[in-house]
Amino acid sequence: MRRFCFCLAWLASLLLFSCDRVAEGDRVYEAGVVEAPAPPRVPPLAILRAGEFPLWFQIADDGPRLIERIEDAVYSAALIPWPHAAHVRFTLAQDDELLMAVNRDGFVRLSPWPAHPGGVGLYRVPGGEPWRLYTVGAFVRPDPDGSPVALLYRNEWFLHQDVPPPAHRLWGFDEYSTEPRPVPMPSLDAFPPEEGWDLDVLRRGGSGYWYYRATRRNAARQEIAMLRTDSLGREGQRTSLGDFHNAARPEPLSAAPPGLREMLALALAEGGFGSATVVSPDFQSCRRFASGPEGVRAHAFFSGGSVPGSAFLIATGPSGDAVYLQAGLRSVRRFSLPGLPEGFVYTGIGMAGDTVFASWEEQVGFSIGAAGFMAIRPPELD
């Protein structure tokens, strides 16, 4: 019966496949000014209509690929050290969209589809050769209202690569992109790759500063520079090793925005979690908050606090034991994401429209085998 329902859901998604494009009609002439037509929006790969039964996607060489069951992913990919394996590396939320930076592949965008209530457009922006050679080190929005960018760097842990630092280290995209585009950034461009500099860390600390690390090796020694800046539009200033490491520590719950703080404290207590990595449209990057000792780390999605009383939080542990909370209510709804095979874990969660998306991986030590994401509309959230 489950397989029959799954087939119906996938058949419906195929029937809903759409290729909407902005028409390049006549130009508009007004007061002697010529208005050029808007560039065509990129059509989605498919329109997803998830229901009570999950839709499973595995990351393949040609992007996300639908599989019938999560068990079909077991041992379907060789175990590879994580810097060189394809998997959902980072997730961001922007407005009502969910965005993923996929290691060794490119970007995935999940956007509600207004023409079909409950539908979500699945978009892929393949990175091509640069993404196959390098590791995704960060995925952030440099400006609060700006587009996201991903940082690529050369990671030689576990596997030596005889490749130079990436010629372009920052890459961005938007709804019109068919491929990522290089993005200049004054603070990072002060360490040019043609001079051997590579940047392997870019994060926003709880202090509000951006922190990044530049490295350069030569025959005699390796140079390392740790820097921070209040704006990625300006060059950074050197900072201490302690300051740099402290920026990677989780923030206390007291540092969370008021709309999130109470719900997150309740979610951590009820779920038995020590900390949570939170994705939200309100954040320029994912942020990690801790209530005490680390313990089990949860992954959470906060809808944002722009509309009073409408905010919600959804959080899950690695095994898929999840909780859902609404702003202003003390009640906690418990539910479970679909079960995973042994050795698999959930690594992130978010929502686009009414659909929950959760990334998953097959993990053995520092290595990753099969990886992908899942889409579902749990009845507990209706």
pLDDT tens across the length of the chain (382 residues)? 444 343 434 434 433 333 332 233 333 323 344 455 556 778 899 999 999 999 999 999 999 999 999 999 988 888 999 999 999 999 999 999 999 999 999 999 999 998 888 899 999 999 998 899 999 999 999 998 889 999 999 998 877 778 899 999 999 998 888 899 999 999 999 999 999 999 999 999 998 999 999 999 876 778 999 999 999 989 899 999 999 999 999 999 999 998 899 999 999 998 889 999 999 999 999 999 998 777 789 999 999 875 566 899 999 999 999 999 998 888 899 999 999 999 999 999 999 999 999 999 999 999 999 999 999 998 877 7
H-assigned helices in the chain: 2-15, 129-133, 186-189, 241-246, 258-271
Q: Which residues pair with 362 in a beta bridge?
A: 344
User: Which residue pairs, CB below 8 angstroms and at least 24 apart, start in 133-137?
Assistant: 133/161, 133/163, 133/166, 134/163, 134/166, 135/83, 135/84, 135/103, 135/104, 136/89, 136/90, 136/101, 136/102, 136/103, 137/199, 137/200, 137/201, 137/202
| Count of CA atoms in the C-beta half-sphere (13 A) of 306 | 9
| CA separation for the pair 194, 164 (Å, rounded) | 9
| CA separation for the pair 211, 195 (Å, rounded) | 21
| CA separation for the pair 324, 211 (Å, rounded) | 32
The residues spanned by each domain of the chain are 2-18+36-381
